[in-house]
Structure 1
Amino acid sequence: MLLVAVVSALLLHAASVAQAQTLRLAYYNQTCPSAEAIVFDEVQKAYKVDNRTAAALLRLHFHDCFVNGCDASVLLESGDNQAEKNADPNKSLRGYDVIDKIKARLELACKQTVSCADILAYAARDSVRVATGWFNYKVPGGRPDGTVSKLSMALANLPPHNQRNVTLLAKSFTVKGLSVDDLVVLSGAHTLGVSRCGTFQYRLANNNDKGMNATFRDDLRRRCNYNAANVAPLDAGSQYGFDTSYYANVLANKTVLESDAALNSPSTVNRVRQLKNDPSTFMRSFELSMGKMGALRGSSQGKVRDNCRRVRM
């Protein structure tokens, strides 16, 4: 039995290594040379119309990878079952129209060649590029598209925004082979975007919430004004700039989500300080952590959907 278990473990490891090796830089250079340029062009166009697009596309990639690996299952519409996008944490996701435009152009240029999963990964990278104006890290391609999307899987896998215990929050990462440091670094993506007041309004009623600065809480009360549909920046004062001010707000207890407030904990606060004080370290670390997250694999074996919203190949 022990021998069987060891052999099985080795086979599983070999399979995972083989899958990871399929991701490579310049993946479409031969089959669709214009692929990454088309993705960037559409992201840039969308960003010029609405600069909230950068946060939306980053969030789509994150919410996709954390459920069943980076397989674009978050884009699928509901069919016989409720899809991931119908789970409460995903109902506020945006950017689907941008992905549709990218996919339509790619299908014209190189039919059924570029996966929706790779489009999400490239679009997330290009979101950072347009938000900074310069930071353009490398992203490998070769992710297959998934064929299964279930609401229950999203609920079971997405890190909870209302978790203040950083150890429990980190389990959502470590179970996927990511680290506590990846949690701290990838949370830095919250330097972009907003959150609806209904997501965090429960915190505004608690004057004893030591994870929130009292003056900041009063400002949020005025902004929200008891309207769950109102929004507040995730990074107060810098919601459109991809920078390290998010970490300054974590240290000052000026974050709207408890999962961000959790990073001001003894086990993570030193890393938060480092990233706040050294933007170049943050950028390098973000590239590495995005690479690790972007390599999370689903169960599909090489399929490319012809439409990112449906399963038919």
Structure 2
Amino acid sequence: MATASASSFISLLLISSLLLASFTEAQKPPVAKGLSWTFYDQSCPKLESIVRKQIQNALKKDIGLAAGLIRIHFHDCFVQGCDGSVLLEGSTSEQNARPNLSLRKEALKFVDDLRARVHKECGRVVSCADILALAARDSVALSGGPNYDLPLGRRDSKTFATVVNLPSPFSNTTVILNDFREKTFNARETVALSGGHTVGLAHCPAFTNRLYPKQDPTLDKTFANNLKKTCPTSDSNNTTVFDIRSPNVFDNKYYVDLMNRQGLLTSDQDLYTDKRTRSIVTSFAVDQSLFFQEFANSMIKMSQLSVLTGKQGEIRAKCSVKNSNNLASVVEDVVEEAWSGII
């Protein structure tokens, strides 16, 4: 994926700073029990500036990292909640489930690198789940999308899910709406979250069912012919961008693509084909500010799905390994517990 120029990033940062004012001044949505808008103000006051700076530097070198981090956060929250379980490694971990095989390895490593920087500054007080949520938020903002505050205080799970059910790229709108409804999202929130596909890449097998053996009639012919050049066979492992208009910028052009029959996945294009969601797609396509507001609110809501707080879970010493598998962290836990008892 092409690297954005320095001037482009400066422009995006200026836009993001203006958006920050509008989104943080608005009335904040409800917060899950145990989370707080000021959770680390005392224990790690530089947390958000550390994460923001590292994301900013990383995206200058590789804008594609933004989509990778956003996707990992979504895949974490939609399985057993926003608990960092997707970050755990292992032969039977969530990372080895079929929907997660294409998660970007560089992005997974980047989260643990962030964790190391944060823990060096503040000690082991910030969870990997919180760091991932902040990384996704900053990836949105620094690639041109809305900025928004996040309630923090998540804890990391000690387990990962044995069954990974995620919305399928082959699903129609009925299935997608049902999948999201189970997570308490209405149609408007569902269409807004789908707008995350305004950045990022997809592998050919995720959409070649629309090309072979018979071409999907909802596909624009020129768009379909170009896809066939990228994916000459149904099992080709090449990749292409979700948004052909502005693939490296988080904006509302994804919805413009859908209106022009240039949605990549079945689950994308059917949002415009289906009468229940067509008007929502259109409203976001013609009003980027509206999309940004809806996306921000939906992301804040998603980031609170089934969170662990208080004494639940743990704060991992390494994001890819639970503490019981890390001798150094076990010793640290004992010391922390004894010290807290003294205090």
TM-score interval for Structure 1 and Structure 2 normalised by the shorter chain: 0.7 to 0.9
Cα pair 2:219 2:262 within 8 Å, conserved: yes
The match for 1:148 is 159
Asked if the contact 2:199/2:242 (under 8 Å) is kept, the reply is yes
Residues 117, 158 of structure 1: alpha-carbon distance in 2 compared, 3 angstrom cutoff = same
Q: Deviations over 1:213-234 (max 9, x none)?
A: 2221101001223362211111
Are positions 1:108 and 2:117 aligned together? no
| 2:140/2:146 contact within 8 Å kept | yes
CA distances 1:81-119 after superposition (whole Å, capped 9, x unpaired): x11111111111110121011001111112221111111
Gaps of 5+ in 2: 1-29, 324-328, 330-343
The correspondence for 2:197, drawn from 187, 190, 214, is 190
Normalised to the residue count of structure 2, the TM-score between the two structures is 0.81
What is the CA–CA distance in structure 1 between the aligned matches of 2:284 and 2:150, rounded to whole Å?
A: 22
Work out whether 1:240 is the aligned partner of 2:248: yes
Distance 1:48-1:19 versus aligned 2 partners, 3 A rule = closer
Partner of 1:215: 222
Q: Quote how far apart the aligned CAs of 1:19 are.
A: 8.6
With normalisation by structure 1, the TM-score equals 0.88
Contact 2:147 2:296 in 1 (8 A): no
**Does 1:23 pair with 2:35?**
yes
Contact 1:74–1:84 under 8 Å retained in 2: yes
Instruction: Specify the alignment match of 2:17 in structure 1.
Output: none
In the other structure, the counterpart of 1:38 is 50
How far the C-alpha of 1:299 sits from its partner, in A, is 5.6
Q: Which residue of 1 aligns with 2:288?
A: 279
Describe the superposition over 1:139-168 as per-residue Cα deviations: whole angstroms up to 9, x where unpaired: 110111111113x421xx21111102x122
1:1-313 aligned at under 5 Å gives the runs 20-78=32-90, 82-94=92-104, 95-132=107-144, 135-150=146-161, 152-154=162-164, 157-164=165-172, 166-226=173-233, 228-264=236-272, 265-298=274-307, 301-312=312-323
**Residue identity (%):** 39
Structure 2 CA distance, aligned partners of 1:188 and 1:129? 14
Residue range with higher mean Cα deviation, 26-35 or 298-307: 298-307
Q: Structure 1, residues 280-309: CA drift from partner, whole Å, max 9, x if none?
A: 101111110001101101467152111100
The letter for the 2-side match of 1:245 is K
Deviation by residue 1:180-233 (Cα, 9 ceiling, x = unmatched) = 221100000100011011222222114441232222110100122336221111
Residue 96 of structure 1 aligns to a residue in which SS? helix
Aligned residues: CA RMSD: 1.7
